[in-house]
Amino acid sequence: MVYLVTGCAGFIGFHVSKRLLESGYEVVGIDNINDYYDTKLKFARLSVLKKFPGFTFCKNDICNEGDVEQIFLTHSPQHVIHLAAQAGVRNSISSPRDYLENNLIGFFNILDSARRFSVDHFVYASTSSVYGANELLPFSEINHADHPIQFYAATKRSNELMAHSYSSVFDMPTSGVRFFTVYGPWGRPDMALFKFTHNILNREPIRVFNHGNHMRDFTYIDDIVSGILTVSSHPAQPNPQWDPLRPDPSSSKAPFQIYNIGNSTPVNLMKYIQIIEDVLGEKAIINFEPMQQGDVKETVSDISKISKLGYEPSIDIETGIKNFISWYKQYINE
Q: Does residue 138 have a cis bond before it (omega within 30 degrees)? A: yes
Instruction: Give the span between the Cα atoms of 163 and 117, in whole angstroms.
Output: 16
Instruction: Give the span between the Cα atoms of 247 and 10, in whole angstroms.
Output: 35
In the chain the first and final C-alpha atoms are separated, in Å, by 35
Instruction: Give the span between the Cα atoms of 258 and 239, in whole angstroms.
Output: 12
Contacts of 176 by beta carbon, 8 Å cutoff, 6+ apart: 123, 124, 125, 126, 159, 160, 163, 257, 258, 259
**Catalytic (active-site) positions:** 152
Instruction: Give the span between the Cα atoms of 155 and 307, in whole angstroms.
Output: 27
The strand ranges marked E within the chain are 2-6, 26-31, 55-59, 79-82, 121-127, 174-179, 182-183, 206-208, 215-216, 219-220, 256-261, 267-268, 286-288
Instruction: Sort 135 into a burial class: Cβ within 10 Å, 0-12 / 13-18 / 19+.
Output: exposed
Q: Is the dihedral of CA 223, 228, 234, 239 positive or negative?
A: positive
Which 3 state secondary structure label does DSSP give 195? helix
Instruction: Give the span between the Cα atoms of 156 and 148, in whole angstroms.
Output: 9
Instruction: Give the span between the Cα atoms of 137 and 258, in whole angstroms.
Output: 17
Contacts of 50 by beta carbon, 8 Å cutoff, 6+ apart: 57
Q: What is the DSSP string of 73-116?
A: HHH--SEEEE------TTHHHH-HHHHIIIIIIHHHHHHHHHHH
